Amino acid sequence: MNRGVILENLNQECPWCGMEIEDAFHLFADCNFIKKFWDLFGGWWNSRICSISTIEDLFGLCFPISFSGNGKMAWGFAVAAALWSIWTARNDRVFRGGSMNQKDILLHTKMRALIWIKNGNSNLQLCEDVWWEDPSSAIIPAKGMRSLNGYLQKKEVSSLM
């Protein structure tokens, strides 16, 4: 027994596909269900998530080369929120019979990342309306400069501050 859970009674198969023994790599990266989630996640950021073939590749998601500064910071929050959302959805499924799909997990990821950014970094400001569809465009740069891809112009930035 561990934290009130009788471990012998737990199914050791992946809660998403039921076809593989659950381990960290399969749960977070290799399961076909989760691969579809990472495709959605990449689409949200207008990026393609490269093949994740090792646990090191999974953690490598935290260090993208295509983002810098606040964009890289927001990406890091989003990846951490994605991993936590996968884990909590897994626990909900295993222990409470929950049934989140990939879009539900992505919605939880978006909400968590936004909350974590707003509460954890006063230097990183976002346009919340844009965050839900294109987070790289939602970043409000310091001192009224253009955002990463030019979505927010100087006038719009100053009106949001």
User: CB atoms < 10 A from the CB of 118, how many?
Assistant: 14
97 CB contacts (<8 Å, ≥6 apart)?
A: none
Q: Is 7 helix (H, G, I), strand (E, B) or coil?
A: helix
- Phi–psi pair at 85, nearest 5 degrees: -65, -40
Q: 5: which strand partners?
A: 2
Q: Note the pTM of the prediction, 2 decimals.
A: 0.79
**Chain segment 131-158, per-residue pLDDT in tens:** 999 998 898 876 544 444 443 333 333 3
Share of the chain above pLDDT 70, in %: 78
CA 38, 40, 45 angle in degrees (round to 5)? 95
d(CA 105, CA 128) in angstroms, rounded, equals 19
Whether 89 shows a pLDDT value over 90: the answer reads: yes
CA 64 to chain centre: 13
Q: Looking at residue 132, what is its pLDDT?
A: 95
pLDDT band at 54 (very low <50, low <70, confident <90, very high): confident
Which of 20-24, 99-103, 141-145 is least confident? 141-145
d(CA 155, CA 133) in angstroms, rounded, equals 21
What's the rounded mean pLDDT across residues 81-110? 96
